[in-house]
Amino acid sequence: MERKKVVVLTGAGVSAESGIPTFRGAGGLWEGHDVMEVASPEGWEKNPRLVLNFYNERRRNALKVKPNVAHQIIASLENHFNVAVVTQNVDNLHERAGSSQVLHLHGELFKSRSTRDPSRIYAVDGWQLNWGEKCELGSQLRPHIVWFGEMVPLMDEAVKEVKTADILIIVGTSMIVYPAAGLIHYARPGSAIYVVNPDMPTMEDYPNLHLIEEKATTGMTRVFDLLTASSS
């Protein structure tokens, strides 16, 4: 029997329980910085060294934390289903937990790319990416992050994944950051939708919609039990 397709859309709430700070805090600040200073093309043009140092600190912190129960449960769903993870997170905790198919909508913290040719992408060894590190074309490397005002290049691929899902799980995301927030609209009729969030966003009324108002770790434990019980 062909396995059911599960697509898991994850946001900052999944990694927050591992100790990864959420992207935006009170007043639009991120770790003490205006987000536009460190997460926009304009911020990069104005002060690239500040931006490089900011992401160096994010990498250094990410290396200290571990996948949590939510990451582990999402990975273990592969034992029962055909699973694709579509994440707004830039950390690598899904991969470290064992998920084999992860699509990073907003880029990847442990990669860099050429400022001249965006298709030239490189792994960041360790936590430092410094001023003066260049691609083969001689242009400065920048974080491989989708900043405010930039296109989301993998959006079409994410839409294709959601369109094929028998089950869509949305966990740890406020559903207000577009275009990712619009992915739910591509769920096909009849597919089951599970939303896990302790601060439940306002949701349209979909058939087969299940709202679980809990944090990612406990909420995903419930979802796993529900799905594996129904598939056995």
Residue 139 CB contacts under 8 Å (≥ 6 apart), including other chains: 114, 115, 116, 117
Q: DSSP character for 9?
A: E
With H, G, I as helix, E, B as strand and everything else as coil, classify residue 158. helix
Phi-psi region of 225 (alpha: psi -120 to 50; beta: other; left: phi over 0): alpha
With H, G, I as helix, E, B as strand and everything else as coil, classify residue 212. strand
Sign of CA dihedral 9, 15, 20, 22: positive
> Which one is catalytic: 71, 104, 106, 144?
106
Phi-psi region of 62 (alpha: psi -120 to 50; beta: other; left: phi over 0): alpha
Confirm if 168 and 175 have CB atoms less than 8 A apart: no
Confirm if 191 and 168 have CB atoms less than 8 A apart: yes
Concerning whether 104 is annotated as a catalytic residue, the answer is no
Six token digits for residue 231: 């598939």
Spatial distance between the Cα atoms of 168 and 195, rounded to a whole number of angstroms: 8
Residues annotated as catalytic are 106
